[in-house]
Amino acid sequence: MLGATGSTRRIVCIGEAMAVLTPARDVPLRDADTFVRTVGGAELNVALTLAGLGVPTAWLSRLGDDGFGEHVRSVASGAGVDVSAVELDPARPTGVYVKAPGTASDGSRRSAMLYYRDGSAASALSPAYLHRVGPVLGTAATVHVSGITPGLSDDAAAFCDALPAHCSRLTVDLNYRPALWRDRDDGALRRLLAAADEVLLGADEAVQVFGSAEPGVLREALPRARRILLKQEEHGVLVLGAETFHVPALDVDVVEPVGAGDAFAAGYLAGRWFGLDVRSAVVLGHRCAAAALVVREDRPVTLPAWKDLAG
């Protein structure tokens, strides 16, 4: 299968994956006695959706040498994602997060996320690991990472500082998590964004990190980025690049918003890999996001062929 340039080079996603526990019944955690186990994590969500769209994909990370880690790796491998460079840590565990069901003021579903990731195997990502996976990065047309990764630990921040030198093309999805930066310097996050060829971020995140979602402010803050995709929730995406244009989102009945941003990123990256123009790739991103919004899972349950999604 050939990408936009006629190359078989793949997309490499880097970041923490976790086991996800969700109450089997839609009840508060205090009343839940049975849980459904799935897998989550921004970059793995992207990798799994890319693979579902037919894009050759690898995922780089570290997992605990435990049952949850085995499950995460099995799910990724079973979906066609290359996990050959994922390291297993005998001393640190696989991270876990729990979904706490809830309802927003408009009646829509809004789960709270409870993370148990301190000291996880992925928090030990480091420049040493980066050098060990150099051959995998050498196969990448695009490397994709999120702003979550540098927030995992000081070692992971150093990993992200060293990463751009190993990438021919780097995309970063801000995925801002304030709790990860509480009482910590967010310089590593800002340096990662500044080094990206393309940046994806929500308008609310832009305000938190840059103080504004105004296009001029973002262009000044991210002068190296060839393209900035400003996600404006249900209104769509404003593309800031050689030309500026807006692509409206699709109108869907939202079941659960978790994971829609990851699905959008995967659709957009897939579209570009397949040679779509930017506008069509954003449309593909919207359609993948819509497929995630209408299910309770963190990513689309089913995806039609990318040609059916595109345009």
Residue 266 one-letter amino acid: A
**Pairing verdict, β 18-23 and 198-202:** unpaired
Q: Which two tokens stand for residue 94?
A: 């696989």
- Residue 15 CB coordination number (10 Å): 27
- Output the pLDDT for position 299: 75
Q: Which parts of the chain register pLDDT below 70?
A: 1-8, 103-109, 257, 295, 298, 304-311
Structural domain 10-309, CATH architecture: 3-Layer(aba) Sandwich (3.40)
- Under a CB-based contact definition with an 8 Å cutoff, are residues 76 and 48 in contact? yes
Please give the single-letter amino acid code of residue 51.
A
For the chain, percent of residues with pLDDT exceeding 70: 90
pLDDT of residue 258: 74
Q: What is the DSSP letter of 82?
A: B
- What was the pLDDT predicted at 311? 46
Report the half-sphere exposure of 216 (CA within 13 A, side-chain side).
0
| Cβ contacts of 35 within 8 Å, gap of 6 or more | 21, 22, 23, 24, 98
Phi, psi of 221 (to 5 degrees): -75, -25
The predicted model scores a pTM of 0.92
Instruction: Give which of 52, 55, 75, 100 is closest to 304, Cα–Cα.
Output: 52
